[in-house]
């Protein structure tokens, strides 16, 4: 298993990150909080123009035909800026789910429009009780029971807004009436699609957590460089250095397992679910520690509305319980580790 990214992948990440850092500033995020949708159509079209919305759309439908390995670094960049748009969910969850549906009519109707930035899709599974960005979705893919997936348009649903700890996350409960006409997958086929979508969503959350952690470290380093006490920057004090170092170390360890999870999904590895859960736990743990220690080195000012730190901290908190909470992912890891004849130890577990 080779985790070395190609020069093109690294260059693409660099260019996308530069674009996002310039276009998605904390000031613009705060401005979006005051709008009706909390979303920017101009930003979405700019990302579509770069090919980002169609990155995993097959070439026959106007996309770039790439996979999770190609996108994981870009998802990390999305986390770095706390992107308040459903790009990660679209590329990693919605598009692969539509492309895997047995109904070709859905693919031909929606994939070209998604690639062109003309349509948005929200995915609602039982693992997430609330559906993110349902209010701007032209199409909703919704789980019904354990073994059905339905495709419904926005005119067929009723939405109730639910507040999130992260003001950038727009969450809705969805009321709708399932019917045979809206069902696009059922039975074992639907169960596999649901499981794959959960894994893809968890990978996206883990990759964003990496970016969020890096950003919180950088914000904290800057603050501790500028803030002085006893005539010295507080960042020169050992106790402060240790707090930030304690975040940097788990971040570096988490990167490898997130990249492995992306590889496993892209190559349909039999242990993909295990690898995803490992990645989600490791990345989320790093981001939560980044939030905690970031607040402390700010002298608790990081929690206040005026400081940018809280934007990234709250998104880290929200993603921690998205696409499977800690208990869900720990149980999946435990099922593997505690199983009779488990393949653990050097050369097996990572």
Domain of 281: which CATH number? 1.20.140.10
Range of the domain at 301: 189-337
The pLDDT assigned to 348 comes to: 72
Q: What total of structural domains would you count in the chain?
A: 1
Look at residue 144 and tell me if it is in a domain: no
Whether residue 92 is contained in a domain is answered as no
Joined together, the tokens standing for residue 99 give 């492309």
Is residue 155, in this structure, part of any structural domain at all? no
Conformation bin of residue 222: beta by default, left when phi > 0, alpha when psi is -120 to 50: alpha
**Is the residue at 6 inside a domain?**
no
Please state the φ and ψ torsions of residue 139, each to the nearest 5 degrees: -135, 140
The verdict on residue 348 lying in a domain is no
User: What is the pLDDT, as a whole number, of residue 227?
Assistant: 67
147 domain-assigned: no
Query: Does the residue 151 lie in any domain?
Result: no
pLDDT along the chain (350 residues), means of 10: 83 96 97 96 97 97 96 98 98 98 94 98 94 97 96 96 96 96 96 98 98 96 77 68 90 96 96 97 98 89 86 97 96 92 75
Crossing angle of helices 26-33/309-320, nearest 10°? Answer: 70
Q: Each residue of 132-170: pLDDT tens digit?
A: 999 999 999 999 999 999 999 999 999 999 999 999 999
Contact present, 63 and 55 (Cβ < 8 Å): yes
Kind of pairing between the strands at 131-132 and 171-175: antiparallel
pLDDT for 50: 96
Confirm whether 132 is domain-assigned.
no
Q: Is the pTM of this model over 0.85?
A: yes
286-318 tens-digit pLDDT: 999 999 999 999 887 777 888 999 999 999 999
Closest among 218, 288, 219 to 250, alpha carbons compared: 288
Give how far Cα 249 sits from Cα of 88, 91, 287, Å: 25, 29, 12
């Amino acid at each position: 298993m080779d985790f070395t990214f190609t020069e093109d992948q690294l260059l693409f990440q660099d260019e996308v990150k530069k674009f996002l850092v310039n276009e998605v500033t904390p000031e613009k995020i705060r401005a979006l909080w005051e709008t009706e949708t909390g979303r920017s159509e101009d930003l979405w079209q700019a990302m579509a123009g770069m090919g980002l919305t169609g990155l995993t759309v097959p070439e026959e439908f106007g996309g770039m035909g790439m996979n999770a390995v190609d996108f994981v670094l870009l998802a990390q960049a999305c986390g770095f800026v706390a992107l308040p748009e459903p790009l990660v969910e679209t590329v990693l969850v919605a598009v692969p789910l539509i492309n895997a549906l047995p109904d070709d009519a859905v693919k031909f109707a929606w994939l070209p429009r998604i690639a062109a930035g003309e349509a948005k899709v929200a995915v609602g599974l039982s693992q997430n009780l609330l559906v993110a960005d349902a209010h701007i979705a032209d199409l909703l893919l919704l789980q019904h029971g354990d073994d059905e997936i339905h495709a419904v348009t926005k005119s067929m649903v009723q939405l109730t807004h639910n507040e999130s700890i992260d003001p950038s996350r727009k969450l809705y409960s969805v009321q709708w009436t399932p019917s045979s006409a809206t069902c696009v997958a059922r039975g074992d086929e639907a169960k596999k699609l649901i499981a794959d979508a959960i894994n893809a969503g968890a990978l996206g959350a883990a990759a964003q957590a990496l970016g969020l952690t890096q950003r919180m470290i950088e914000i904290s380093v800057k603050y501790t460089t500028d803030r002085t006490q006893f005539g010295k920057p507080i960042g020169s004090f050992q106790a402060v250095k240790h707090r930030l170092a304690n975040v940097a170390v788990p971040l570096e360890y988490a990167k490898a397992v997130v990249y492995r999870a992306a590889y496993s999904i892209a190559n349909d590895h039999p242990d993909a679910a295990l690898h995803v859960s490992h990645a989600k736990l490791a990345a989320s743990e790093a981001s939560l520690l980044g939030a905690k220690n970031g607040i402390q080195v700010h002298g608790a000012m990081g929690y206040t509305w005026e400081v940018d730190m809280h934007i990234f901290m709250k998104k880290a908190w929200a993603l921690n319980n998205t696409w499977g909470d800690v208990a869900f992912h720990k149980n999946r890891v435990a099922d593997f580790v505690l199983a009779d004849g488990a393949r653990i130890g050097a050369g097996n577990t990572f």
